[in-house]
Structure 1
Amino acid sequence: MNAAAKLGTYVLGLAVIFGGALGVGSAVGEVAPAPAEESHGAAHSTEAAAVAPEDTPGGLQVSENGYTLTPLTSTIRPGEPTDFQFKVTGPGGGPVTDYQVQHDKKLHFIVVSRDLTTFQHVHPAEAGGVWTIKLTLPEPGAYRAFADFAPTGADGLTLGTDVLVAGDYAPKALPPVGRTSTVDGYTVTLDGDLIPGQSSKLTLKVSKDGKPVTDLQPYLGAYGHLVALRAGDLAYLHVHPDGAPGDGKTAAGPEITFYAEVPSGGDYRLFLDFQHAGTVRTADFTAQAAPAPAGTPAPTSATTHGEH
């Protein structure tokens, strides 16, 4: 099979079976160029079709409520730092330049591999409606990029787009379910269970060299940020931190508590960013939500968009 045929088969596989079930890939080639600007009439048709049902999790759509995430960088090679650029256009078709500040930033940008084994939470800079971030993707394959933001005067959104990195791709197995993660000498333990259709309390406890860490440092206005992604389709899920630094009741560790809302049973990946001794680190877990009990009502719009 030639390289072009392999690329076509690979991308079709992504659309049908999602990241966790991808077969072993081969040369995927360069990322396709960004789509051309739509005509005025086509834009209205796209917007009408891109109004998500209320129970659709965030990150599954490139367009929603008239807002569209458009990558401007067409080529990424593994291991090479790249000035990755993208823009967000609004209902009128022009670039969005006015954002609400959430967690100290106008926009949060999360990039994960489709097999959910690599994760980056970064903050690009915006100029003239174009966002730029120095991005290094370590290995060939398929990645999902999420833009988490709230335009001024509008509700918060999480839009997602696929990014392909050229080279031979061998997806990794999803890490096993576990309640302990280690990173740079820190140990983070997870307490709590994901329950479909309702808010689930998750408590993460940070220790170092066997001693609880009680002097976590605020990072983006919180002692920790948690991103939850559903294995398979990489739905970006709603997570609320409990408390905030300086509120007079939230301790600076060792425990960080969140409330996560998952819409279905199955496997999820959890990524916790926390800061200590001036460095931000990421602990990761695979968690499993039990199937929703028979007769459980469908999740409401409270499960729609990620808030880390």
Structure 2
Amino acid sequence: MNTGLRITAFAAAIAATFGTAYGVGASVGPVVAEKPPAAHDEHAATGTETGGEEGGGKAAAGGLQISEGGYTLALDTPRVAAGEPADLRFSVKDERGRSLTSYAREHGKELHFIVASRDLTVYRHLHPTRAADGTWSVAATLPAAGGYRAFADFKPAGKGAAGITLGTDLAVSGKSEPAALPPVRATAEVDGYRVTLDGALTAGKARELTLSVSRNGRPVTDLQPYLGAYGHLVALRAGDLAYLHVHPNGEPDDGVTEPGPEVSFTATAPSAGAYRLFLDFRHEGKVRTAAFTVDVPVTGADTGTGTGTGEKPSAEPREGEESPGHGH
């Protein structure tokens, strides 16, 4: 029996809709960079966007701001070439312009770095390394040209410090052909695994999402811990890429949480709209990502049905995967 998981949320104002920023549109052309705008502890919500409080407290979204709580995400490589290996470098600056060098470890890492395309068809959960001067770096190859968003999810060291998610734009140059958002489906397939999503997100209300992993028609009952859990979930709102980070209350070897096939989350969407859910899970030493599109109806229009997408994530090996030759 799995323990329900509560969403960790971050707050900020809604800033965009479909077709804004780098535009999920039909145009094709070169991309030009724009100016940049442990135990399972809960992240503190620090922004302004809130939803209802039924069952899960105020719903909030983050990653819409480059600066928050006295910290700024400084991306040293705001532009890379599509399909070319690149070294992404960045730092987190304080109010005096100094690079932050002291972080609290959460879910096995000092900082989680997420990169996603504006059309939400490319997603990378990367694991950068930090130099003594506070500069973070990670190798990545982003396959498609277009606008991307980079997120730094971290908690400064110090008693009472709140978790923060900062976001900034990243341009991937080349011929851009933005894709439509993948359709809503309840299953996703990746590398021979099938992941089924049961449950529905609701604006301002806590709802349970259960993801079941199988392979060759058989339930996977020996999932391996990844970042201190059997599943790691990130949700991004289509249009402005508002960021939600979901973590479990249960953990491996707690005597309650089983290693599959089901991984359960309790989540609250900050608003109605379309979202992409990205589930990272580890099996036989390799991390895989199952991606779903879900529709969150306006309050009172919830159908109560599970929604997802069968769209396959890129087959290209993901940076940070625990597979032979790619240590984590």
User: TM over 0.5, yes or no?
Assistant: yes
Choose the corresponding residue for 2:167, options 122, 142, 160: 160
Letter in 2 for 1:81: P
Counterpart Cα distance in 2 of 1:244 and 1:19: 38
Aligned-pair distance for 1:18?
4.2
**Distance (Å, rounded) in 1 between the aligned partners of 2:285 and 2:23:** 34
C-alpha distance in structure 2 between counterparts of 1:34 and 1:63, whole Å: 11
Is the contact made by 1:203 and 1:256 (CA closer than 8 Å) also made in structure 2? yes
Distance 1:22 1:242 in 2: 39
Deviation at 1:252, TM superposition (A): 0.3
Which one of the candidate residues 265, 273, 278 is aligned to 2:280?
273
- The amino acid of 1:22's aligned partner reads G
Instruction: Determine which structure has more spread, i.e. the larger CA radius of gyration.
Output: 1
Identify if the C-alpha distance between structure 1 residues 23 and 230 changes in structure 2 by more than 3 Å, giving closer, same or farther: same
Q: Contact 1:32–1:74 at 8 Å: present in 2 too?
A: no
How far, CA to CA, are the matches of 1:192 and 1:168 in structure 2?
38
Report the CA distance shift for 1:123/1:238 in structure 2 as closer, same or farther (over 3 A): closer
1:27 is aligned to: 30
Query: Which residue number in structure 2 is paired with residue 134 of structure 1?
Result: 139
For 2:30, the aligned partner's letter is A
**Normalized against structure 2, the TM-score is what?**
0.76
Question: Quick check: 2:24–2:179 contact (8 Å CA) kept in 1?
Answer: no
* 2:215 maps to 1:208: yes
Q: Deviations over 1:126-160 (max 9, x none)?
A: 01110000011111110111100001122001100
Task: Name the counterpart of 1:68.
Answer: 72
CA offsets per residue over residues 280-299 of structure 1, 9 Å max, x none?
Answer: 000000011111239xxxxx
Shift of 1:19: 5.8
**Would you say the 8 A contact 2:36–2:169 is kept in 1?**
no
The alignment-based identity, stated in percent, is: 55
- Give the deviation of 1:75 after TM superposition: 3.6
* Preserved CA contact (<8 Å) 1:112 1:120: yes
Match of 2:119, SS state, is coil
Q: Is the 8 A contact 2:224 2:285 kept in 1?
A: yes
The letter for the 1-side match of 2:290 is A
Q: Deviations over 1:94-148 (max 9, x none)?
A: 1100000011000000101100011100110001110000011111110111100
After the TM superposition, which parts of structure 1 deviate over 6 Å for at least 4 consecutive aligned residues?
13-16, 32-35
Partner secondary structure for residue 246 of structure 1: coil
| Distance apart, 1:17 and its partner CA | 2.1
What is the CA–CA distance in structure 1 between the aligned matches of 2:213 and 2:126, rounded to whole Å?
A: 22
- Distance change >3 Å, CA 72–CA 14, structure 1 → 2: farther
Map of 2:84 onto structure 1: 80
Aligned to 2:318: none
Shift of 1:240: 3.3
Q: Distance in 2 between matches of 1:238 and 1:281?
A: 17
Alpha carbons of 1:175 and 1:16: their partners in 2 closer, same or farther (altered >3 Å)?
closer
Q: Secondary structure at the match of 1:73?
A: coil
Q: Is the Cα contact below 8 Å between 2:79 and 2:170 reproduced in 1?
A: no
Instruction: Write the distance in 2 (CA, Å) between the matches of 1:15 and 1:70.
Output: 26
Q: Note if contact 1:238-1:260 (Cα within 8 Å) is conserved in structure 2.
A: no
Superposed CA RMSD in Å reads 2.2
1:34-54: CA deviation from partner (whole Å, max 9, x where unpaired) = 89xxxxxxxxxxxxxxx8425
- 1:288, 1:15 → 2: CA distance? 14
Distance 1:110 1:287 in 2: 20
Corresponding position of 2:193: 186
SS of the equivalent of 2:99 reads coil
Q: Report the Cα distance in structure 1 between the residues aligned to 2:246 and 2:202, rounded to whole angstroms.
A: 13
- Partners of 1:110 and 1:281 lie apart in 2 by 15
Give me the whole-angstrom Cα distance separating, in 1, the residues matched to 2:23 and 2:282: 30
- For 2:102, the aligned partner's letter is D
1:244-284: CA deviation from partner (whole Å, max 9, x where unpaired): 10110000000001111111111110000000011100000
Q: Which runs of 5 or more structure 2 residues have no equivalent in the other structure?
A: 1-15, 38-45, 51-59, 302-328
Q: 1:86–1:281: structure 2 CA closer, same or farther, 3 Å change rule?
A: same
Tell me which of 107, 110, 113 is aligned to 1:109. 113
Q: Which has the higher helix share?
A: 1
Count of residue pairs brought into register by the alignment: 266
- Alignment match, 2:148: 143
Flag the 1:237–1:281 CA change in 2: closer, same or farther, 3 A. Answer: same
State how 1:232-251 maps to structure 2 within 5 Å: 232-251=239-258
Say which of 11, 17, 20 aligns to 2:20: 17
